[in-house]
Amino acid sequence: MSSKNEIQRHQAIGKRIKELRISAGYSSYSKFAIEHNLENKSVWRWEEGLNYTIDTLFMIADIHHITLSELLKDIE
């Protein structure tokens, strides 16, 4: 069972993933998914803070040309 802090941390990561997509000019996760050859449902889940792995986070960081540290900055 996940603790409240763990759930909040996952939600914060999902929010950051969504912010990066929007700041890159993608108004919808669907357009982002298509352009980067990703599954729509996967992108939606990641933005909800669900079902991502460390490899997923590295991939997202690479897509946005940032480091994993920058992706996770200020998330405790």
pLDDT of residue 76: 82
- What pLDDT does 2 receive? 73
Q: What pTM does this model have?
A: 0.91
pLDDT (0 to 100) of residue 1 = 55
Is there a domain that residue 13 lies in? Answer: yes
Could you tell me if residue 16 is inside a domain? Answer: yes
Q: What range defines the domain where residue 12 resides?
A: 4-71
Helix (H, G, I), strand (E, B) or coil at 18: helix
The total number of structural domains in the chain stands at: 1
Complete DSSP assignment for 29-74: HHHHHHHTT--HHHHHHHHTT-S--HHHHHHHHHHTT--HHHHTTT
Q: Identify which of 8, 23, 5, 7 has the alpha carbon closest to the alpha carbon of residue 60.
A: 23
How high is the pLDDT of residue 24?
98
Residues of the chain with pLDDT under 70: 1
Q: What CATH number is given to the structural domain containing 24?
A: 1.10.260.40
Residue 76 lies in a domain: no
